[in-house]
Amino acid sequence: MLDIIVIGGGPAGLTSAIYARRAGLSVLVIEKEHFGGQISDSPKVSNYPGFKTISGLELSNNMFDQAMELGAEFEMDTVTSISKENDVFTVKTEYGQFQSLSVIIAAGVKHRKLNAMNEDRLLGKGVSYCAVCDGDFYRGKNTIVIGDANSALQYALMLSSICPNVTICTLFDKFFAEDMLVQALVATPNIEIVHNVSAISFNGETKLETVTFEHTVTKEIITVCGDAAFIAIGQVPDNEKYVPYVNLEKGFITTDGDMATMTPGLFAAGDCRYKKVKQVATAINDGAIAEQSAQNYLISLKNRSNS
């Protein structure tokens, strides 16, 4: 019987694990993809206190190493459901199940899809959601980035250093990114900007060859050539599996200031939680608070059983 199960191995989940182990609690972190979460896909993090700049991968690896050295347990698996009976939580996964006295959901979010034609068929064959993960496979080749916020611009800038030409395509007529990133993008000669286009299809038999767009104003059909297209249009939550033990707001888990959900002993932290600001710093804040709240809950359980 574990003290805490943490669902998700991003900054929020790893912070919870670090705090739990420092308190002497047993903790298992279950992660379905890769430890580190979405921040590990970021080429450069410049707004995390203590580092002028650091790659997201290095930052998340540091967190993972710290949790592991403290003795946290880790499991690569996909959580399918949770349940609670007689103060015991059962977390079911694709390959087994685990039990604990408290649970912290820090499952983050998943990549938002364009739902364009052949997007799924060509995934891994030129279509990707992570330039940090897959960009180097296309060194020396022409690439496309679809998106208009920070991640898209970071991807384009990173790719511009290894690709002869990068075309960034946006749905609207402007960027929704930090000014420094926009200025750097505009100043990079091998980045071409195409505004006001909506992706219709990804084209190619065995690998990506072109992407077809429709101009949102003129309705003109535009074809952009590229060996890879990196989609960076945001993320969406994946929290339905936790109902009815949590309430959702626009798909995100609602909590109070202690990160507590509607179910005693069940907490949520990070980007899966309904909140206004989603940054690595706020995820870590959530993770620390969630673990402290879980710790207090465990103390109350112990006191109740002793009375």
Two structure tokens written together for 75: 């499991």
Indicate the SS3 state at residue 228: strand
**pLDDT, tens digit, for every residue of 159-203?**
999 999 999 999 999 999 999 999 999 999 999 999 999 999 999
Three-class secondary structure of residue 192 per DSSP: strand
Q: Which two tokens stand for residue 93?
A: 């996964």
Q: What is the mean pLDDT of residues 118-137?
A: 91
**3.50.50.60, 3.40.50.1220, 1.20.1050.10, 3.30.70.3270: CATH of 127-231:** 3.50.50.60
Joined tokens for residue 307: 């009375």
pLDDT at residue 249, as a whole number:
96
More confident residue, 34 or 78: 78
Confidence grade of residue 232 (pLDDT, cut at 50, 70, 90): very high
Calculate helix-pair angle for 280-306, 11-22, nearest 10 degrees. Answer: 40
Q: Which of 63-67, 104-108, 288-292, 303-307 has the lowest mean pLDDT?
A: 303-307
Q: Which residues of 144-158 are buried (b: 16+ CB within 10 A; e: fewer)?
A: bbbbbbbbbbbbbbb
- Rounded Cα gap, residues 110 and 94, in angstroms: 18
CATH of domain 2-109+237-306: 3.50.50.60
> Whole-prediction pTM value?
0.79
Q: Where are the domains of the chain?
A: 2-109+237-306, 127-231
Cβ atoms 67, 231 nearer than 8 A = no
Please state, in angstroms and rounded to a whole number, the distance separating the CA atoms of residues 25 and 250.
33
Same fold, 2-109+237-306 and 127-231: yes
Write the CB contacts of 115 (distance below 8 Å, at least 6 apart in sequence). Answer: none
